[in-house]
Amino acid sequence: MNPEKIRKDFPVFQNHPDLAYLDSAATSQKPEKVINAVEKFYRRQNSNIGRGLYDLANSATQIYSRSREKAAEFIGAKPEEVVFVRNTTEAENLLAYSYSFEGNIVLSKMAHHSEQLPWRRKSKKEDKDLKYIQTENGKLSLESAKEIIDQDTGLVAISHVSNVFGAENPVREIIKLAHENNAVVVLDAAQSAPHMNLDVKDLEADFMCFSGHKILGPSGTGILYGRKELMEGMEPYQIGGGMVNSVEKDKVDYSTTPDKFEAGTPNVAGAAGMKAAIEYLESIGMKQIKKHTEEISDKIWNTVDRQEGFENISPEGANIVSFKSEYAHPHDVAEVLNQYGVAVRAGQHCAQPQVREIDVNGTARASTHVYNTEKDVKKLEKGLEEVRNLFG
């Protein structure tokens, strides 16, 4: 693959040709194909889905259905197992509200707040014990998981890849351990879906979720996968139009999954854009994308490692590189890098418990995607040298 050629597919780099965008873990840039899909829907295909007997409505319904089919294919699922959501946050909240189970909840401190907080609230409201898998060298500790996941565990919610450390966690082993103890697993794939082949049958996840905006798709889109037999037994998260079979004076018959979890008018344009994003990723190849982002991330990690006064927080080989400076606060680091045309994230990355545990006041974070090049790494290096010159 040729990242320089790929950059030409992204209008943002036509408008900002010197931008070294290293913040894709927060949100990815959008290729022309995705923008065109959204624009085409609004210009030529706009209608509400379902029940319309005219051509435009039928077209919109087909677009929405085909988008679900493509999303399901992307993760090795069946279309009826895929619920469209606004983002990973909504998916986690939907599950925490709708899925009922006996037993305690196992989380990790490295989890994004959007993964932690819904389950913490559920534990408090339903008086469930809460346990945490410890972190070791930037990954979830399998030994810690073995110590706390037992027959009293009802649900385990873990991140496939940490948005702070960027390393792939031993999720297959933890999922196997959970299933041996009859617990279900919620897998947050927000940081793995942009770079990795995901197959829910291979992973054996019970639930999995990620956001469309991180896989080159539009904002306000996301996917929640759930095993059909589990989803069918869950209460709807929101109720209203489009998710019922019949409504009588004192009785409501809800639709089956996924419809019963998609009340109201859906984001059809967003679904069309997400389908286009998945097709774009597949046209390049997820294996090639993973290889490329790992290579660029390794170069970033080594660049930081060579700089006097800087320290990598992420382990070597991680796909997200968090680092700190002995000279300056992460916000100051990010501001200097901005002057060099380098965009990074700075702060605690919505993972305050984990950041506090490693005893830092925040990190600067560089994250990559298919459009990043070695030129971006060189710009980062010059920016880090300037941080040292200014504050060192």
Q: Quickly list DSSP for 182-231.
A: T-EEEEE-TTTTTTS---HHHHT-SEEEEEGGGTT--TT-EEEEE-HHHH
CA-closest candidate to residue 242, choices 47, 70, 51, 42? 51
Torsion of the alpha carbons at 346, 351, 202 and 93, rounded to the nearest 10: -120
Cis check: omega of the bond before 258, within 30 degrees of 0: yes
Instruction: Give the list of residues 6+ apart from residue 124 with CB closer than 8 angstroms, or none.
Output: none
Torsion of the alpha carbons at 356, 361, 364 and 369, rounded to the nearest 10: 20
Rounded to whole angstroms, how far apart are CA atoms 162 and 166? 5
Residues 153 and 183: beta-carbon distance below 8 Å: yes
Instruction: Give the list of residues 6+ apart from residue 13 with CB closer than 8 angstroms, or none.
Output: 7, 19, 21, 29, 371
Determine the length of the chain.
392
Rounded to whole angstroms, how far apart are CA atoms 375 and 342? 11
Exposed, middle or buried: residue 304 (CB in 10 Å: 0-12, 13-18, 19+)?
buried
What b/e readout covers 180-216, taking b as 16+ CB neighbours within 10 angstroms? eeebbbbbbbbbbbbbbebebeebbbbbbbbbbbbbb
Rounded to whole angstroms, how far apart are CA atoms 242 and 49? 9
**Known catalytic residue at 209:** no
Tokens of 368: 């990559």
Choose, from 72, 350, 370, 384, the residue flagged as catalytic: 350
Residues serving a catalytic function are 350
